[in-house]
A and B are shown apart, each in its own frame.
Chain A
Amino acid sequence: MYVVTIFQLLLIYGLLTLSLNLVVGLAGQVNLGHAAFFGVGAYVGGTLLKAGSPFLLALAAGGVAATALGLVLGAVSLRLRGDYLAIATIAFNFAVVAAFLYTPYFGGAYGLSGIPRGMAPGTYLLALLATFALAVFIHERVRNSESGYAFVALRDSEAAAEAIGLSVARFKLVAFALSTALAGVAGVFYAAYIGTLRPEDFGFPLSVTLMAMLVVGGIGGLWGPILGAFLLGGFAQAFAFVHDYQAVLYGLLLALVMRYRPQGILGRTS
């Protein structure tokens, strides 16, 4: 039973890393604020679930809300590059968390609690698995299609991509939209899973964790993000016995993997 619970959490992490991979791995944009979209989906979906709405509606609403915000960040990415964009995404994350913190409707500092699952546990697991499978399908479909190559092209050389007729701006926005939609959906599942949301759960540290999962697992492909999610997501559970040393081990893991295998465990040396 415990295993199933952890497995569900890992699936949610998997959704998040796959979504992040679309923007970071394929399109090559920096996003150190991905947790914000997860949070938006969670809060919006959670609020609807609490109000008794059917799960599918909450799911759609969470996804749409996250996408809308994702397009905002996408627009920012059109104006800022590299390190500036990285810092902007961090600031974005903080801003969203602050919004949760200071909005009484979302419970402020106390957060949102009492979110119902909206369905039987068995159904929930099936729904989550189905969504995960769908996410994998979409991820692969996009990656191996003309769009996937378009993302890679704009990652490798924006100037050249423009020169062959690719609207770089539009494709960046699409990448962000897809990525954040998926993150928002994951958020709704998370809200139903955990029942209580607090603003600080969706802050910069989570964004760093997501980015770390992606980078440690190996960006770009399919199994890298999934491995990263399961490995680092399961880390806290697996290393529960060294509870006291978790942070230092985790930090060291990040540092060592980046130092000695920067392409990630399943990444290819480029």
Chain B
Amino acid sequence: MTVLEGRGLTRRFGGLVAVDRVDIQVHQGEILGLFGPNGADKTTLFNLLAGAILPSEGHVYLEGREVTHLPAHRRAQLGLARTFQIVQPFRSLTALENVLVALARDSYRRLLPLGKLGTPERRAKAMALLEQVGIADFANRNVSQVPLGVLKRLEVARALALEPKVLLLDEPLAGLTFKEAEEVLAVVTALRGRIAVVLVEHHVRLALLVCDRAMVLDRGAVIAEGGPEAVRSDPRVIQVYLGEEDATA
């Protein structure tokens, strides 16, 4: 079942075509990797799917429903969650509070919700999420004093708090030590079969380990698509990454 779909997605910035008539389908329970030597087209496609920017042409469907012109917060309410490449925690709050805010999404449909944020039920759910990503120890720590690896996993926990149908991860491994990257990958792998995940990554080799399927972009267009092995050994992919150190990273 297709959870998230982009059809004919195109995005131009002035004269530059960042995304060029891309079709993409994400199926229930799979982990789809999005790769490419150039940063701009992956990020733009990601942001088109997430609702951070609008396409010049094309459509986005979430569970069959057209969301092309819906703003990011509406897509979040409909089950699309995303993380950020440069982490965006709520710095005034603790890790637990970060997740609690995401859990209150039903209340946030109201104009001025005055209920208590940290209800026992929400706290239990929040702790469970923090445990799921392995950062329960940091629950009551203010996030401005917490290492990057923890913040990256917090982003995932916060996104999962939305009970999303699809989770978009924007370079979750960027800036992490090897050990931290392993921890994040473990979290992602555990999601397989439960929700759909789209993973944009620069660290191709690492990411391919967890993907069920991969798509490679070059200059805004899809040049390869398929299982990880097939994509990795695809001559076009190799050629496009030649000279890019990340291909051997």
Q: Which residues of A contact B (CB under 8 A)?
A: 141-142, 144-150, 152-153, 155-157, 159-168, 170, 174, 178, 270
A157's nearest neighbour on chain B, judged by CB, is B88
User: Is B161 among interface residues, defined by CB-CB distance under 8 A?
Assistant: yes
Q: Which residues of B contact A (CB under 8 A)?
A: 50, 52, 71-73, 76-77, 81-82, 84, 88-93, 97, 100-102, 104-105, 107-108, 111-117, 144, 158-159, 161-162
A173's nearest neighbour on chain B, judged by CB, is B111
Smallest CB separation, A268 vs chain B (Å): 10
7 nearest interchain CB pairs?
A165-B76, A160-B88, A165-B105, A157-B88, A146-B113, A164-B102, A156-B90
Taking a contact as CB atoms under 8 Å apart, the answer to whether B116 and A156 are in contact is no
Cα–Cα, bound, A144→B101 (Å): 12
Taking a contact as CB atoms under 8 Å apart, the answer to whether B73 and A168 are in contact is yes
Smallest CB separation, A18 vs chain B (Å): 16
Taking a contact as CB atoms under 8 Å apart, the answer to whether B116 and A145 are in contact is yes
B81, B108, B114, B144, most chain A CB atoms within 10 A: B108
CB-CB under 8 A for A163 and B89, given A146-B113, A147-B113: no
Cα–Cα, bound, A153→B72 (Å): 15
Cα–Cα, bound, A182→B115 (Å): 21
Taking a contact as CB atoms under 8 Å apart, the answer to whether B101 and A149 are in contact is yes
Taking a contact as CB atoms under 8 Å apart, the answer to whether A147 and B84 are in contact is no
Taking a contact as CB atoms under 8 Å apart, the answer to whether A152 and B158 are in contact is no
Taking a contact as CB atoms under 8 Å apart, the answer to whether A170 and B111 are in contact is yes
Chain B residues within an 8 Å CB radius of A146? 104, 107-108, 113-117
Taking a contact as CB atoms under 8 Å apart, the answer to whether A164 and B101 are in contact is yes
Taking a contact as CB atoms under 8 Å apart, the answer to whether B84 and A159 are in contact is yes
CB-CB under 8 A for A156 and B93, given A163-B82, A164-B105: yes
Cα–Cα, bound, A157→B154 (Å): 15
Taking a contact as CB atoms under 8 Å apart, the answer to whether A153 and B90 are in contact is yes
B76, B93, B101, B105, most chain A CB atoms within 10 A: B101
Smallest CB separation, A159 vs chain B (Å): 6
Q: Contacting A159 at CB < 8 Å: which of B88, B111, B116? A: B88
Smallest CB separation, B44 vs chain A (Å): 16
Cα–Cα, bound, A166→B101 (Å): 9
Cα–Cα, bound, A170→B161 (Å): 22
Taking a contact as CB atoms under 8 Å apart, the answer to whether B84 and A152 are in contact is no
